[in-house]
Structure 1
Amino acid sequence: MAAIFIGAPLVTGAIAGEKAVPIPRVAIDVPRGQGMQTAVLAGGCFWGMEAVFEQVKGVRDVVSGYAGGTAKSANYGAVSTERTGHAEAIRISYDPRIVSYAQLLRVYFAVAHDPTQLNRQGPDTGPSYRSAIFPQTPDQKRVAAAYIAQLGKAGAWNKPIVTRIESGRFYPAETHHQDFARKNPVHPYILRWDKPKVAAFKAAFPGMVKG
């Protein structure tokens, strides 16, 4: 795993098999507000995305699913054909008094996936594995767009960021996909691609890890 520097204004992200990159803090944030809030993010296989965000303090629930297509074809068999328009995604329910939307975005870009991979992540290829943010409010859309622009100007990667901002409903995936990494900790895919992401998150953001 690549080295991670703590305590500076930059945090180094580490994706399994990828070179570490510096990630600046988000310049603006969504108003904290009251009550639980929801974020929907896509960044490759939802198993790993879910595994990372389940570790974040203030996150109450993470659901794997599909976003960007219709309810009729929101199932694994159909989505896997790469013709439905869905992305594998996660729905995060979080307490804004504990963790903010901007902090979730920083984890998303720093350790959860590689935002420079177009229609793929690691060994998985196709538009269902694209990097995409599905804002749930106008404020989320504003913050996500600003952060993508901020990262681009910072030159955090030596390749363009391909993360898209999209609209569309979220549909939960089949039961056997929920909490897959937690239920299958020695699955070869989990060991190779997802455990390193979880470890990178814990190293880079120790103050955000659930106790």
Structure 2
Amino acid sequence: MSAVIPGTSLALHPERFPDPADDLPRDQDPGRAILAGGCFWCTEAVFLQLDGVNSVISGYAGGDAEHANYEAVCTGRTGHAEAIEIRYDPAVIRYGELLKLFFAVAHDPTQKDRQGNDRGPQYRSAIFYQSEPERQAAAAYIHQLNQAGAFIAPIVTTLEPLDMFYPAEDYHQDFARRHPTQPYITHVAHPKVEKLRTAFPDTLKTPEAD
């Protein structure tokens, strides 16, 4: 089974994305992950679908508080990346599972300082780690993906120590759900969510009964 990742020429082969061999130890898992993979509207939309994920907040990481606003970050000169803060239950979904879906579905980790037509360091692929075990788990999984031949191009995802995460403006939060017909959402975010549902259905939240 394969499908084209929206906005790229890469094919998604779920079998090329193994479960992480080295995950974050449960007793060192804070239940919080900060990931950057292009426009946060799209990554937020993907991770909100996952069972065990309690909340996803769009925001900025990698820069200072003074310039942690959309207008400044869009210049590409503040050091920030558009990122999401994922709060999750490690008893339901592991840190490594989040990484697996981050690489397999949420974005293209072979594009440096861009995602599709979104260009600039604010759209870089990055994992902002909060501890050394977290950094080691992320580095180990990137190595595992390279060994598995998950992508035809090198993974350029950076591992950056988390200083602070700054929530984005209110109008960015839960954007895809609130604006389902917005062109960017229909052409970029929705196909990624559908890819998740098709390729990894066992990861999804159970629909709530009426």
Task: Establish whether TM, by shorter chain, passes 0.5.
Answer: yes
2:187 paired residue number: 192
1:129 paired residue number: 123
Q: 1:120 aligns with which of 114, 122, 143?
A: 114
Whole-angstrom distance in 2 between the partners of 1:34 and 1:83: 34
- 1:20 is the counterpart of 2:26: no
> 1:35–1:95: 8 Å Cα contact kept in structure 2?
no
What secondary structure does 2:43 align onto? helix
CA-CA distance at 1:32 after TM superposition:
2.1
CA-CA distance at 1:205 after TM superposition:
1.4
2:57 paired residue number: 63
> 2:10–2:151: 8 Å Cα contact kept in structure 1?
no
| TM-score normalized by the length of structure 2 | 0.91
1:82 paired residue number: 76
> 1:74–1:86: 8 Å Cα contact kept in structure 2?
yes
| TM-score normalized by the length of structure 1 | 0.91
Give unmatched runs, 5+ long, in structure 1.
5-11
Deviation track 1:26-62 (CA, whole Å, cap 9, x = no partner) reads 1111122399610000000000000000000000000
> 2:81–2:122: 8 Å Cα contact kept in structure 1?
yes
Query: Quick one: structure 1 residues 33 and 190, their matched pair in 2 at CA, closer, same or farther if it must change by over 3 Å?
Result: same
> 1:30–1:101: 8 Å Cα contact kept in structure 2?
yes
Percent of aligned pairs with the same residue? 54
Give unmatched runs, 5+ long, in structure 2.
none
> 2:8–2:108: 8 Å Cα contact kept in structure 1?
no
What secondary structure does 2:140 align onto? helix
The range that moved more, 93-102 or 27-36, is: 27-36
**CA RMSD across the alignment:** 1.6
Aligned residues: 202
CA-CA distance at 1:24 after TM superposition:
2.2
Q: 1:177 aligns with which of 158, 172, 195?
A: 172
What secondary structure does 1:156 align onto? coil
The range that moved more, 144-153 or 54-63, is: 144-153
The range that moved more, 100-109 or 144-153, is: 144-153
